[in-house]
């Protein structure tokens, strides 16, 4: 337990004035703002967290809960690796859980980020679009 992380999180939440969900060891938070992938990642990291990254069905459902509340697609903390069509966590580790929409991912190197649809399924997408920012701590 990190006091600094806790403090950053509470400052973020006050700034967020948004949605917070606890799932397992994670806390998810969103301020309802839509930003590009780089801005979302930077904002989450500045607050002591990272972009919401589902590693199992329970976490995917929790993130989906926020996505549904705002009715907006959200970027996830997953990116395409150097190998086209292969996706990893932000730290480069391979995914241990996926929930791709049928026929996804299909960007073949042109869509390096991943968004969650309002049904909880994933789609590879360009990183410069504006999507809901959801952080995890």
CATH number of the structural domain spanning residue 53: 3.10.100.10
User: Torsions phi, psi of 48, nearest 5?
Assistant: 95, 10
Q: What is the pLDDT of residues 8-58, one digit of tens each?
A: 555 555 555 567 788 888 999 998 999 999 999 999 998 889 999 999 999
Domain that holds residue 29: 3-136
Domain count, the chain: 1
What's the whole-model pTM score? 0.86
Integer Rg of the chain from CA = 14
| pLDDT given at position 6 | 56
d(CA 16, CA 99): 27
Cβ partners under 8 Å of residue 126, min gap 6:
107, 110, 111, 112, 113
**How does residue 4 score in pLDDT terms, banded at 50, 70 and 90?**
low
Beta carbons of 7 and 14 less than 8 angstroms apart:
no
| pLDDT given at position 112 | 97
| pLDDT given at position 22 | 83
User: Torsions phi, psi of 61, nearest 5?
Assistant: -65, -35
The 8-class DSSP code of residue 120 comes to: S
| pLDDT given at position 48 | 86
| pLDDT given at position 11 | 55
| pLDDT given at position 74 | 98
Cβ of 136: how many Cβ atoms within 10 Å?
Answer: 22
Q: Which residues are 22's β-sheet partners?
A: 27
Q: What is the pLDDT of residues 84-137, one digit of tens each?
A: 889 999 999 999 999 999 999 999 889 999 999 999 999 999 999 999 999 999
Q: Which helix (H) or strand (E) holds 10?
A: helix 3-16
């Amino acid at each position: 337990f990190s006091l600094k992380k806790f403090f950053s999180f509470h400052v973020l939440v006050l700034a967020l004035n948004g949605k917070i969900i606890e799932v397992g060891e994670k806390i998810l938070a969103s301020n309802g703002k839509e930003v590009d992938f780089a801005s979302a990642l930077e904002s989450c990291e500045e607050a002591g967290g990272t972009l919401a990254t589902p590693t199992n069905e329970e976490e995917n459902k929790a993130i989906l809960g926020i996505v549904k509340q705002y009715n907006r697609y959200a970027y996830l903390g997953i990116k395409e690796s150097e190998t086209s069509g292969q996706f990893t966590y932000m730290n480069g580790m391979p995914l241990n859980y996926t929930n791709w929409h049928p026929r996804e991912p299909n960007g073949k190197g042109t869509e390096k980020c991943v968004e969650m649809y309002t049904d909880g399924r994933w789609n590879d997408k360009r990183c410069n679009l504006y999507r809901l920012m959801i952080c995890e701590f």
